[in-house]
Amino acid sequence: MALEDAKKQIDLAFTRKDRKGLAYENAFGGATSFLRREYSKDLTGVDIAVTGVPFDQAVTNRTGTRFGPRAIREASTLQPYDPPIGWGFDPLGDFSIIDYGDLAFDYAHTPSFPPLLTDHISTILSAGAASVTLGGDHSITLPILKAYAEKYGPMSVIQFDAHSDLWADDDFDRIDHGTFMYKAVKLGYVDPKRSVQIGIRTECDDYLGMHYIDARSVHEMGLPWVIERAKSIVGQNPTYVTFDIDALDPAFAPGTGTPVWGGLASWQAAALLRDLAGINMVGGDVVEVSPPFDHGNITAVAGAHVAMELCCLNLWNKRK
């Protein structure tokens, strides 16, 4: 059946007649929506709206993550032929996932960007859907968290990252990917005592009450210990999962702006995301994929897998 479908399926981003179902379109052809889902602004009945935010004006080192959403979408065409392994259900067949397209914004007027993004995500949430966002640099998570906090109250966050992004910065008009979590805590979007950062391997003077598990602890203590601790911290509080691709070691994700050695292996990240199943995950993002510094698209492939896992994590508690 798959072979027969592959012969006739093309541009499913625009031609698919049902939002549910696997896709067998040739990976190398056609319109590259995320996982060959329908491009649509109609949120009726949607479980997850995947959206791109091609913004990278807030980086401290190498720009290029504005091209991340496009690269992740292209890399995702390798995945929609089968249900993702290890989850035991078919998110593409059982749920309505759309590609909501990218956020439109004026690249030359950065102060207007955060409220535009908050409104964009709020539109998705008010329709009863969850968002999975493809970044972009990590500053985009702050206005996204504002939208989630307006709906759910102070959020629990699980942050996969090499950096804490807790640099002190009380100028709340500044947009900086290294200060977004500091501001999210100070503004009350995030409950630090019910949040945890995983994979950290750079210095932080003050974690503002956030729990953290550095990369060495992940390696030495083992994944079951990490999962048990993370789940005990967030409990069943509404939880947002943000995955900075530099949580992975540069050997597994060279295409990022601020790589740091000693990070997670891709198998560790895959297992951690899978075993977080059961948390009250209400939204998430994958950020900092920078195609100009990628090799063989391996970072984009990793980003596409993370985005798929985030969809599974969100849908886990809704499966029949």
CATH number, residue 133: 3.40.800.10
Q: What is the pLDDT of residues 216-236, one digit of tens each?
A: 999 999 999 999 999 999 999
**Residue 39's pLDDT is what?**
98
State the pLDDT at residue 102. 98
What pLDDT does residue 224 have?
Answer: 98
With b for 16 or more beta-carbon neighbours within 10 A and e for fewer, the 149-161 pattern comes to beebebbbbbbbb
- Asked if the peptide bond before residue 136 counts as cis, ω within 30 degrees of 0, the response is yes
pLDDT per residue over 70-87, tens digit each?
A: 999 999 999 999 999 999
Is 165 labeled as ligand-binding?
Answer: yes
What's the Cα-to-Cα distance from 52 to each of 134, 138, 169, 193, 226, rounded to whole Å? Answer: 5, 13, 27, 30, 30
Angle at CA of residue 308, ends 304 and 312, nearest 5°: 165
Q: Is 219 labelled as part of a ligand binding site?
A: no
**Banded model confidence at residue 267, pLDDT cuts 50, 70, 90:** very high
Q: Which residue has the higher pLDDT, 200 or 3?
A: 200
Q: Which tens digit of pLDDT belongs to each residue from 150-180?
A: 999 999 999 999 999 999 999 888 998 989 9
Mean pLDDT of all residues belonging to the chain: 96
Please, is 111 exposed, middle or buried when counting C-beta atoms within 10 Å of its C-beta (0-12, 13-18, 19+)?
A: exposed
**What confidence score (pLDDT) does residue 320 get?**
78
| pLDDT over 70 percentage in the chain | 99
Residue 1 has pLDDT above 70, yes or no: no
For the ranges 117-126, 144-153, 173-182, which has the lowest average pLDDT?
A: 173-182
Cβ atoms of 10 and 25 closer than 8 Å: yes
Give the count of domains, the chain.
1
The stretch 180-190 carries a mean pLDDT of 98
Q: Does 246 show up as a binding residue in the annotation? A: yes
Q: Domain limits at 91?
A: 2-318
- CA 68, CA 246: separation in Å to the nearest integer? 13
pLDDT value at residue 8: 86
Would the annotation count 294 as a binding residue? Answer: no
- What is the C-alpha to C-alpha distance for residues 191 and 288, in angstroms, rounded to an integer? 24
- Residue 210 in this model has a pLDDT that exceeds 90: yes
Lowest model confidence (mean pLDDT) among 164-178, 244-258, 261-275: 164-178
Reported as half-sphere exposure (CB side, CA atoms, 13 A), residue 288 has a value of 31
Give pLDDT, residue 5. Answer: 73
pLDDT digits over 88-104, tens only? Answer: 999 999 999 999 999 99
